[in-house]
Structure 1
C-alpha cells in the first residue's frame, strides 16, 4: 500500500495521507488548475487487480455521482493512476465517522439523535427514489461534520449498492452475504437476494438504536452468533440504557427491527416521521434536519410537558395475611362474646316467662 503523497495524476496533485481502508487509501489533494482541495480515494494495487473489486469501485463512483443530495457524499472525477489503479475525487470533509463518535461518547442526547436521523432519512429516501439500495449502511459509512447549528452527515460508500432496475454486472456470487454483519437485515443475514429499501430501513433503525443506547443492537462475539440474533432475537429495551428516550421511541425502534420486512416501516421517510412523532415533534424531516440542536432540545422538552409519559404500573399489592390478634385482644374479644351470649339468653327468658 505505497504512499502516493506527491504524485500527480488526472489533473490532481496528491497531498497528505488521510486514511486507509480495505479497498483503498484516501489522501488530501488539490486540483492543478482550479486549486480546489479535494479528497482522493485510490484503490490499493492488490485490489485494483481484482475485476470485481474494481467494478464495485466504479459503481460506487457512478452511483454517488448520480445522487445529488446534501447528505450524500459529493464525488467529482474518476480516473486511473499512472500505474493502473482507479481513483475518484470527492468533496473534502472535516469531521469523523459516526462510529468514532459512538465509541467515544456512547448514547447521544435525543436532540442530537433527532437531527442526524432526519438527515439520514432524507439521504436514504433520495437514494431509494432513484432505485438505489445501499445494503451496507453502518456508522463507519456515515461521516459527521461539525456545523454551527450541530452535526451534518454524509452517507458514504455506495460500492455495495443494489440497483432496483439492475443493468450492470452482478457483483456478488449466489448466496454471498454482502454488508456489515451488525447492521444486516434478517433477509440479508439469511443470504436472500430479494433485498429492497426495507433492508436499509432495518439498518437505519439499528443505527437509531445505537445512537440512543451507545450499544450495538445485535452484539455477539462471532459472525454466526450475530446473524442468529438478527434473525431470531430482539435487542434489550432502549430505556435500560438511556431513560432520556420516551417509550414511544421504543415502539418505533421495535417496528423498524421487525424480522419480516413487510411488517417494518415501508420507507426511510416513514421511519423518520414516526421517530419525530415519538418525541411529540411535527413530522417535518427537512425542518428538523436543519434546526439547531439546542432548538430541537427545547422543542422536545416543551412537548414532553404537554404529553406526559404513560402512567407507571400500579404499586404492588401485598398478599400478607391479616394481622393475628394479640393475647390481650383475644381476651377482650372472648369477654365480649360471653357477655353477648348472656344478654341473648336473658332476653329469651324474659320473652318466654308466663
Structure 2
C-alpha cells in the first residue's frame, strides 16, 4: 500500500488507525505537498450500497461544518471502486486513550474540553446534522500550535436533515452511549439524542464509570427508563450539584434535557466555578490499638461537634488504602508504624498510588527513631512519638491541615485560571497573574487593534421583570453563543460590561477578523432564535459597535485590593462602545473611516449620521451587512499560505470502532 496512489494525487504512506467503515492512512498530497489523512472504505464493504451511502454521507456531513472543532474535510472521491475521504491530519490522541491512562479527569480540566465539544455540536445541530455516535473514541485531543484543541470525528452514522431513508428500527451506534430513543431505533431523532450521548461521555470522564449498568440498557430500550448512578456516590467531591446536573443531562424524556450543547456547557461551567462549600477536614487514623477510635473521639469531641474534623479509622495499611479509595477527599493520614498485614512504612510508600496529595503523619515510639527517619525520607510530612501528647497532636494536625489547605487552594486557583482561559485569551491571563509582581503602569504599551462591543438588545427590562436566576441564565445563554465566535477568530474577551461583552482583536487582519466574528455571532443568534421561537433566550438580538486604531494597553487597578486588570484604553474603545449603544437590533455599526478601509471586503449600508460625545460634528455611520463574495478564477494566483510542518508520528491513534 505504501506505493499506492489514491485518486491520482495522494501517495499513501502507512496505516495510522482503524475504524468501523474503513482504515485511516497517512498520505502525501502531491499536488499541494502536504500530509493528510485518508479514510479508505474497507474492500469487503464496497459492494454494500448501504455502507457506500453512509460513507458518502459522512463526507457530506463534515463538509457542512466549517468549524474549528470538527475534523475538516479536504476531498472526497472514488478510486477504482473504493470510496475515500481526505481530511486534515491531526497530532494527538482521542479521549478514550486519555481515559485509559488516567481513568477520570478533574472537573476544571473537563470544563474547557466540554466547551469546545459544545461549539462543534452546536454548529452541527444548526446545520441539521445529528452525529449519532458521540463517544470518547470520536473526540480527538489535537495539539495545534502548542494548544489542545478538541476535534469531533467520525460522522459515519450522522443523520442529515435531508435524509429520509432511515427506516424505523434502524439500530446503529455504540449502545453504552446511545439515547433511549436511539436504542429504540426511532427514525425521528433530534439534536437532544446527541446531548444524551454527551452526558454519558461527561459522566464517564468525571467518574471513570458509566452512568447506567449494562443490564439497564434493556430497560432504556423498552421505554421503562432508568436512574443514573449518583455521580457523588462514585466521586464524593462532585457533590449533589453534579447529581442534579446529570439528572437533567440524562433525563429519559428528551424535553427534560438541556436544550442545546451550549446550555449544557454553560451549566457545567457554572457548577465548576461555584465550587464546593467549606467542609470538615477529613483525617484517616491508622492504628491497630482497639481503643484508638474511642480515645480520638473523646479528645476531639468539640471539634467533631462543630464539624471542624471528621475522623475515619483503619486497623492496618491494607485497610487504610481501601478507606482512601472510599474517601478520596481525605486531607491527612495519621498512621502508626508497627501494624499487622501492612505496616506504616509500606503504607507510606503506597499511599501516593491512591491519593498523591494526602499528607501523612507517622506515629511511633522514641526507640524507633531509625524508622522515623526512613519515613521522613520517604515523604512523611511530620512525625509524633508515643505516648501521644494530645496538645502536640492537635498542633501538628492544625499545621498539617493548613498546609493541605494551601495545596488545595493552589490547585483551585489553577482550576479557576483554566476556566478563565475558556473565555479570555491565555496571554491576558498570564499578564494579569504576573501583574501582582509588577508595579502599576510599568507594562503599558501602544498597540494597533480593533475593539468590538456586542450588547444584548433590550435586556435591562428583563432585569426588572424576571427572577434574578432566570435573567442571568437568559443573558449567559447569549454570551455562550457570542464568545466562541469571538475566540475562534483570534479575539480576546477584555471584559463583560453589564449585558455587553468587549473584545479586542490584534495582529494581522484584525479588522476583518473582528467584523467576521461579529457577523457570525449575529447569524448564530438569529438561527438560535428562529429554532427556539418567541420565548427563546436568543430573541433579543445584539447591538454591535466596532472601531479600530491605536490603543493604550496595560495593567490598571488597585494593588491594595488585590485587583488588577489588563485592559485597553482610548478613543477607539469609547467609539466602539458609543456605536453599540446607538445601534438598533442586529446592527453592526462602524465609522465612515473604517468603512473606507473595508469597503471592498464587506457590504455596508449607510445609516443616519450620529452625534458622538467626543466629536464636534455628526459622524457618518454604516451598518455592516455581510462579507462580500470574492470569486477567484483558476487563472488568478491565490494568496501564498505557509503550510505547517507536522510530525508523522501517530496522529489519529483512535481506538478501533467498538459497537459494544
TM-score of Structure 1 vs Structure 2, range by shorter chain: 0.7 to 0.9
Indicate conservation of the 8 Å contact 1:77/1:90, yes or no: yes
Q: Does 2:366 align with 1:232?
A: no
Closer, same or farther: CA 135–142 of 1 in aligned 2, 3 Å: same
C-alpha offsets along residues 257-305 of structure 1, whole Å, 9 cap, x if unaligned? 00101111111111111111112269xx99617766xx79xx9xxxxxx
Distance 2:126 2:56 in 1: 21
Aligned residue pairs total: 285
Closer, same or farther: CA 140–210 of 1 in aligned 2, 3 Å: same
The structural deviation recorded for 1:231 is 5.3
Hey, what does 1:337 align to over in structure 2? none
C-alpha offsets along residues 310-347 of structure 1, whole Å, 9 cap, x if unaligned? xxxxxxxxxxxxxxxxxxxxxxxxxxxxxxxxxxxxxx
Helix, strand or coil for the counterpart of 1:153? strand
Task: Please say which of residues 149-158 and 9-18 is displaced more in the overlay.
Answer: 149-158
Helix, strand or coil for the counterpart of 2:196? helix
Q: Does 2:145 align with 1:152?
A: no
Equivalent residue in structure 2 for 1:216, among 206, 210, 213: 210
Distance 1:208 1:111 in 2: 12
State TM-score, norm by structure 2: 0.41
Distance 1:139 1:290 in 2: 26
The structural deviation recorded for 1:247 is 2.8
The structural deviation recorded for 1:232 is 2.1
Distance 1:66 1:139 in 2: 22
The structural deviation recorded for 1:147 is 5.4
Q: Which aligned pairs between 1:25-174 and structure 2 lie closer than 5 A?
A: 25-82=23-80, 84-146=81-143, 151-164=148-161, 166=162, 168=163, 170=165, 172-174=166-168
The structural deviation recorded for 1:12 is 0.7
Closer, same or farther: CA 231–138 of 1 in aligned 2, 3 Å: farther
Indicate conservation of the 8 Å contact 1:94/1:145, yes or no: yes
Equivalent residue in structure 1 for 2:256, among 243, 263, 271: 263
Hey, what does 2:21 align to over in structure 1? 23
Distance 1:94 1:247 in 2: 37
The structural deviation recorded for 1:6 is 1.8
Closer, same or farther: CA 286–267 of 1 in aligned 2, 3 Å: farther
Q: Does 2:269 align with 1:276?
A: yes
Task: Please say which of residues 260-269 and 97-106 is displaced more in the overlay.
Answer: 97-106
Indicate conservation of the 8 Å contact 2:132/2:194, yes or no: yes
Equivalent residue in structure 1 for 2:191, among 186, 197, 216: 197
Closer, same or farther: CA 215–289 of 1 in aligned 2, 3 Å: farther
Helix, strand or coil for the counterpart of 1:279? helix
C-alpha offsets along residues 151-184 of structure 1, whole Å, 9 cap, x if unaligned? 32110111212223x2x461x4321222210111
Hey, what does 2:241 align to over in structure 1? 248
Distance 1:88 1:290 in 2: 35
Helix, strand or coil for the counterpart of 1:199? helix
State TM-score, norm by structure 1: 0.74
C-alpha offsets along residues 28-67 of structure 1, whole Å, 9 cap, x if unaligned? 0011122111001100111111111111111101110110
The structural deviation recorded for 1:97 is 1.8
- Whose strand proportion is higher, 1 or 2? 2
Indicate conservation of the 8 Å contact 1:219/1:226, yes or no: no
Indicate conservation of the 8 Å contact 2:181/2:221, yes or no: no
Indicate conservation of the 8 Å contact 1:5/1:17, yes or no: no
C-alpha offsets along residues 113-135 of structure 1, whole Å, 9 cap, x if unaligned? 11111111111011111111111
Task: Please say which of residues 118-127 and 192-201 is displaced more in the overlay.
Answer: 192-201
Hey, what does 1:302 align to over in structure 2? none
Closer, same or farther: CA 211–148 of 1 in aligned 2, 3 Å: farther
Distance 1:93 1:231 in 2: 42
Closer, same or farther: CA 139–98 of 1 in aligned 2, 3 Å: same
Closer, same or farther: CA 74–208 of 1 in aligned 2, 3 Å: same
Taking only aligned residues, the RMSD between alpha carbons, in angstroms, comes to 2.7
The structural deviation recorded for 1:137 is 0.9
Helix, strand or coil for the counterpart of 1:280? helix
Closer, same or farther: CA 215–45 of 1 in aligned 2, 3 Å: same
Indicate conservation of the 8 Å contact 2:228/2:250, yes or no: no
Distance 2:104 2:224 in 1: 24
Closer, same or farther: CA 242–17 of 1 in aligned 2, 3 Å: same
C-alpha offsets along residues 67-90 of structure 1, whole Å, 9 cap, x if unaligned? 0111100110011223x1001111
Distance 2:134 2:425 in 1: 24
Name which one, 1 or 2, has greater alpha-carbon Rg: 1
Indicate conservation of the 8 Å contact 1:30/1:36, yes or no: yes
Indicate conservation of the 8 Å contact 1:122/1:286, yes or no: no
Closer, same or farther: CA 47–69 of 1 in aligned 2, 3 Å: same
Closer, same or farther: CA 290–15 of 1 in aligned 2, 3 Å: farther
The structural deviation recorded for 1:92 is 0.6
The structural deviation recorded for 1:241 is 2.6
Indicate conservation of the 8 Å contact 2:192/2:257, yes or no: yes
The structural deviation recorded for 1:227 is 4.3
